[in-house]
Chain A
Amino acid sequence: MTAFFFGNSDRQLYGVYHAAQSGPGRPIGVVLCSPFGAEAIRAHRILRVLAERLARAGAHVLRFDYRGTGDSAGDGSDVDLEQWQGDIASADAELRDMSGVTRVIWIGLRLGASLAMLAARKPPAGLAGLVLWEPVVRGKDYLAELDRMHHAFMINELDETWERIAARNRQRSKGVRTLEALGFEIGAPLEQALEALDLAKVEKLSAKRVFVVGGEQPAVTAELMAHLATLGAESDSIDTAADDAWNSEQAMNAFVVPRITLDAIVARVESWR
Chain B
Amino acid sequence: MKERIVHFGEGQALVGVLTTVQSALRPELPGLLLLNAGIIHHIGANRLNVKIARDFARNGYPVLRFDMSGLGDSRPARSSEGWEAQNVRDIRAAIDCLAREAGCSHAIAIGVCSGADNIYATAIVDDRLRGLGLLDPFAYPSSVAHARYLLRRAAEPARWFNFARRKTLALLGALGLRKTEAANGRRLPVNDYVRTHPPLEEYAANLARLAGIGVQILMIYTASCSRWLNAPGQVFATFRPYGLDRGLSVRVMGHADHVFTEIATQRELIAGLLTWAARVTPAGAAAADP
Contact = CB atoms under 8 A, between A and B. Distances in A.
A45 B41 contact: yes
A160 B262 contact: no
Contacts of A141: none
Contacts of A154: 257, 261-262
- For B47, B159, B188, B266, the residue with the greatest tally of chain A CB atoms inside 10 Å of its CB is B47
A254 B188 contact: yes
Nearest to A69: B47
Nearest to A250: B188
A5 B223 contact: no
Contacts of A247: 186
A157 B263 CA distance: 15
A160 B264 contact: no
A182 B257 CA distance: 11
A192 interface: no
Interface string B2-40: 011100000000010100000000000000000000111
Contacts of B224: 157
Interface stretch (A24-32, A164-172, A222-230): A164-172
Contact of B4 (A5, A44, A169): A5
B181 interface: yes
Contacts of B158: 160-161, 163-164
A1 interface: yes
A233 to B, nearest CB: 30
B162 A3 contact: no
Given A44-B72, A157-B224, A169 B262 contact: yes
Contacts of B288: none
Interface in A203-246: 216, 241-242, 244-245
Nearest to A169: B264
B116 to A, nearest CB: 15
Contacts, number: 128
B185 interface: yes
Contact of B187 (A159, A173, A250): A250
B50 interface: yes
A47 to B, nearest CB: 10
Interface string B61-77: 00000000000110100
Nearest to B6: A3
Interface residues of B, number: 49
A103 interface: no
A38 B47 CA distance: 9
A252 interface: yes
A156 B257 CA distance: 9
B75 A41 contact: no
Nearest to B224: A157
A153 B223 CA distance: 13
Contact of A158 (B4, B5, B255, B264): B255
Contacts of A75: 51
Contacts of A8: none
Contacts of A38: 46
A71 B50 contact: yes
A4 interface: yes
A22 interface: no
A272 interface: no
Chain A, interface SS category: mixed
A244 B185 contact: yes
- For B5, B166, B193, the residue with the greatest tally of chain A CB atoms inside 10 Å of its CB is B5
A198 interface: no
A71 B17 contact: yes
A76 B181 CA distance: 29
Nearest to A180: B263
B73 A3 contact: yes
A251 interface: yes
Given A41-B40, A252-B38, A241 B261 contact: no
Contacts of B5: 3-5
Interface in B170-206: 181, 184-188, 190, 192-193
A12 B3 contact: yes
Given A153-B261, A161-B158, 15 more contacts: A41-B43, A71-B50, A73-B3, A154-B257, A155-B162, A157-B257, A158-B255, A158-B257, A159-B223, A172-B264, A183-B46, A248-B186, A250-B186, A252-B38, A252-B40
Interface of A: 1, 3-5, 12, 14, 16, 38, 41, 44-45, 48, 69-71, 73, 75-76, 150, 153-161, 163-164, 168-169, 172-173, 178, 180, 182-185, 216, 241-242, 244-245, 247-248, 250-256
Interface of B: 3-5, 15, 17, 38-43, 45-48, 50-51, 72-73, 75, 158-159, 161-163, 166, 181, 184-188, 190, 192-193, 223-224, 226, 255, 257-264, 266, 268
28 contacts: A1-B75, A16-B73, A41-B41, A41-B45, A41-B46, A150-B261, A155-B162, A157-B261, A158-B255, A159-B162, A159-B226, A160-B159, A160-B162, A161-B161, A172-B264, A183-B45, A183-B46, A183-B259, A183-B262, A183-B266, A184-B46, A184-B47, A241-B185, A248-B188, A250-B187, A250-B190, A251-B188, A253-B192
